[in-house]
Amino acid sequence: MQLYGEEIGSRLLLGTAQYPSPQILAEAVEASGTEIITVSLRREGADGAGTGFWQLIKELGVKVLPNTAGCHTAKEAVTTAQMAREVFGSNWIKLEVIGHSDNLQPDVFGLVEAARILSDEGFQVFPYTTDDLVVGEKLLEAGCEVLMPWGAPIGSGQGLRNPDALRAMRAHFPNVPLIVDAGIGRPSDACMAMELGMDAVLLNTAVAKAGDPGWMGAAMAQAIDAGRQGFAAQMMERRDMAVPSTPILGMAVFD
């Protein structure tokens, strides 16, 4: 998988929040085989907590995708992205412009505006967006080369609320990397996203809040791999009626 010209082996992108401990975060990162983890920026006290976290992240040896989580306007998101670029030394930014505090859905108007500004400033934008095709087109026009449609509201673990819309995105944007971001709760959700032809899955809570995050990281990686292979191998069409798998020809007659 190529993301902004970089070859990425793992199709699982993992968030770093909400783990029981830094040690368990490190275990989950390793067990999942992820090559990209998301991080954020927050107010720093003089105790240097953020510097300590950054040290841990660097030791994990994976690529970092900083986010603009919590930003509600394009301006906030742009400023946060500029600050993230300086701290993390990367042009990659997971762009979130939140439009509603209840369901954390993207403000797609602010998102497109911020994506344009940041792309013009040389950022490589990973926009957290809805599954709307027109918004996707506007984001590509704004300079994005990756789209990250939601599966369900952030942290809800509801899985894919609208698989048809994701299928339509795959058909409409055949050559754009599509990463389902948000809403994945279980391995089967991640597998389904991949069966629909998504290029990757970004998740956090499903692993961090699992009883055993390391184990769940591994399970997610396997589910993503299985779904990807299923898509590549081209699944059979559903049928309305039963069709015997075993040939009728040559059946014995006993009456």
Partner 1 sequence: MRILVNGEATEIQASNIAAVLDELLYEGEALATALNGQFVAREQRQETALQAGDQLEILAPMQGG
CA dihedral in degrees (153, 190, 12, 182; nearest 10)?
0
From 50-58, 160-168, 170-178, 191-199, give the range in contact with partner 1 by CB under 8 A: 50-58
Q: Which x/- pattern over 94-113 shows residues binding partner 1 (rule: CB under 8 A)? A: --------------------
Write out the two tokens for 77: 């998101």
Q: Is 129 in the site for partner 1 (CB under 8 A)?
A: no
Candidate list 2, 20, 23, 44; residue touching partner 1; CB under 8 A: 44
Contacting partner 1 within 154-183 (CB under 8 A) = 154-155
**Residue 204: both structure tokens together:** 């956090």
Contacts of 108 (CB under 8 A, 6+ apart): 99, 129, 130, 132, 135, 138
Q: What is the DSSP letter of 211?
A: S
Amino acid, single-letter form, for residue 169: M
Residue ranges in 6-25 that form contacts with partner 1 under rule CB under 8 A: 15-19, 25
Which residue's entry shows tokens 């597998």?
A: 191
Active site residue 75: no
Residue 48 touching partner 1 (CB under 8 A): yes
Q: Could you give the CA distance from residue 226 to residue 114 in angstroms, rounded to a whole number?
A: 35
**Residue with smaller CB distance to partner 1, 104 or 166:** 104
Estimate to the nearest angstrom the gap between the alpha carbon of 148 and the chain centroid.
Answer: 6
Catalytic residue numbers read 94
Interface contacts to partner 1, rule CB under 8 A: 15-19, 25, 38-46, 48-51, 53-54, 57, 66-67, 69, 75-76, 79-80, 82-84, 86-88, 154-155, 204-205
